[in-house]
Every structure is written in structure tokens, then in C-alpha cells.
Amino acid sequence: MTTPLADWNASTPATEQTTADLDMPERSTMSELPFEPARLRLARELKEWTQTDLAGRISVTAAALSQFESGVTKPSAETTAELSRVLDVPVAFFALPVTETHDGFFRSTRRTPIAHRRRARAVAHIAHDLATGVASKHVPAITVPHLPIADLHAPREDVERIAAEVRRAWALPNGPISNVVELLESHGIVVLRLPLDTADVDAFSLPFADRPVVVLGSDKNDRARSRFDGAHELGHLVMHGEQVWGMKEVEQQAHQFAASFLMPADEIYHRLPQRADWPVLFDLKRQWQVSLAALLMRARTLGRMTESSYLTAIKALSARGWRRIEPVPLGSPEHPSLLKRIVGGQLGNNHCQALPRHVVNAIVSAN
């Protein structure tokens, strides 16, 4: 697929391209340029390589690479050029400043290969670079409320209250949210879709203070599930941010937030059936754009459906094969547009050209 960036000096080697475009010194004096150790780690993780993997492809050892990535030593101009070639990133990429955050809000991390998770996180960093490399007038202001949850074991009602406060802060009308992705982008969150290539990761987020990023899987063609994922990651950004991550309690709270945000209790309680009334549930799915599984769980959580009725409904879902593919399809998942507008408009061109072209093109193609 041809993208707005496909003609970025395609015949020019990365090192020559970036020295010309960014008015950088010739290679002989390139050792005087800044070198951000975290950029080397990101470039390596984009390839899903360990330090040993990379060392096997270049003329320095894994121990030397470790020192480069820790900032103990700095690679020579020749080594930097070699890293640029082997890792398929412009030399200028290693000079870009890095905004750090924690490892991200990932679900099912024990079952997800660490190399795959790190690559996805590195791609999210590139998306963050794209959004922060343009003038602020070209991207929406960040207006994400910070409402930290006081206790990892806080009652569900606390999470319900926080979700309601976010809806009020964003002046959302009663009823279903028409487009979750569009809503997140309008409040300054970078959203992108990527093929995550695993059933164990639905989505994740990185809470950068200057521009948070939410990544949704593009390999699950389920609109309802994707909307819930987006609301789930919003819950992390609102309640958890840089403070806590990687615990099942955190994921449970984000799930509670998503259900509350998409289906406010005072609006949906009396509409939920007390048993598995499928025609009613189908209508609710169409109206609220959420899954049957989410509706049943909401009915159980709010006490509208007894535990026995809930279990009967879940067994019926399984028996009919609806746990895998639900009836009443809602259409294609919601698609982001912010990053495509940034790149398609050639905004921040010099900054973009310091980023790995193949990664930027992949981001644009998937969104």
C-alpha cells in the first residue's frame, strides 16, 4: 500500500538522507552528535532482537551494546552508522530526545512473548514521536482528567464515580458514546491500530505525560470489543497513569471503568434483563455498541441478574458458539485518524524523516 511517506528519498541510504535533511555534520564528525541510549534500545526492540542477536550482526560485542544502551559509553561514528544500517533506522534517530514512561499497561503479560510486547511498545514510542514532533496547533490539547484511585482494592462504586466524573468533565450526553476512538483523539490521546498477532493482547497504553498513547489490536475485527478496549485503556490513563501497572487489580479496575464509562449504571440498569432474554440483549447490543458478554457482566455486577441467571446465560453463549463469535455484528471497528492527518499533511517533516520510515509507513497503513 502506498502511503504519504513512501517517497521519502527511497533510493537514499538512511545515514545520507538524514545528514542532508537535518543539516547534520559529515560522518567523520558524527561522533559529536548527541546519542540517546534509549533510542538504540527502541531500534533493537523494533526488530525483536536481544543484544546478543544484534551483536551477531555487527562488529561490536553484546557487552559493548549493553554499555551503549546504559549510557556508560557512546558508539563511534562508524559504529553508529553500522547500527543505523543494520537496524534500518536513520542515524538522526539516535539523536532524538526520548520521553520515558513505564513498560505500559499490558494484559496477560505472562502469556505474551516479551520480545513481541517490547516491539509493540517501541512502535507506540514512534507514534508518540510523530504526534509530539508537530506544532501544538495541529493536535488537540490533552484534556484527560487525572483521578487517581486511592486503593487497589477500592470498592467498585469508587470506579463508577470516577467514570461518571470523566463523562461530566467531557460534557458527554446521556446514552451510548457514538465513537470511542474519535472521543479519545479529540481529547489529545494518540490512538493507533496495530496487528498485535496474539490472542493474549487486546490493547495496551503508554501514559506519556506529554501525549498518552493507546494501541488497539487491528487483528480482531470486533467493533464492540475494540470500543471496550479503548475505554479500558482510558481507565488506566485516568486512574493509574505513571503510578501503578502490571497487577491484576489494576486491570480489574480498568475493566470496571470501561463498563461504567460505556454503560452508566443509572441509565442502563432498568433496561438490562433479569435473565437471558436474547432479543432484548440483541437490541441493547445494537444501541450501546457493546458485546453481549459485556451486557451480561454489567447485569450481574449491578445486581440486575442473579449469579445463577448469569451462569445460565454464559453457558448458553458457550453452547451456541457465541463466546467466540457473537451474533448481531456491529460493523467494522472504529478507526483513528489523527496520526494519518499528521503524516498525510507532511507536518513536522524534518522530525518525521529522523524516524524509521518503514515503521511510520506501517503505522499509516494500519490506521
For residues 261 and 166, the answer to whether their CB atoms sit within 8 Å is yes
pLDDT in tens, 147-200: 999 788 999 999 999 999 999 999 999 999 999 999 999 999 999 998 655 445
Inform me whether the pLDDT recorded for 290 exceeds 80. yes
Q: Rounded to an integer, what distance in angstroms lies between the CA atom of residue 62 and that of residue 53?
A: 8
pLDDT tens readout for residues 16-72:
333 333 333 334 444 467 899 999 999 999 999 999 999 999 999 999 999 999 999
Write 50-53 long-range contacts (CB < 8 A, 24+): 50/115
Distance CA 309, CA 315 (A): 10
pLDDT at 264: 98
Indicate the pTM of the whole model: 0.87
Section 247-256 average pLDDT: 92
Determine the pLDDT at residue 150. 77
Kindly state the average pLDDT of the residues 267-291. Answer: 98
> Contact at 8 Å (CB) between 216 and 232?
no
Could you identify the residue written with the cell 489490536?
Answer: 217
Give the model's pLDDT for residue 14: 39
pLDDT in tens, 66-123: 999 999 999 999 999 999 999 999 999 999 999 987 766 666 545 567 888 889 899 9
Q: Which domains does the chain have, with CATH numbers?
A: 14-98 (1.10.260.40), 105-319 (no CATH)
Q: CA quadruple 348, 352, 354, 355: dihedral positive or negative?
A: positive
What is the bridge-based pairing of β-strands 213-217 and 190-194?
A: parallel
Question: What is the average pLDDT across 219-238?
Answer: 92
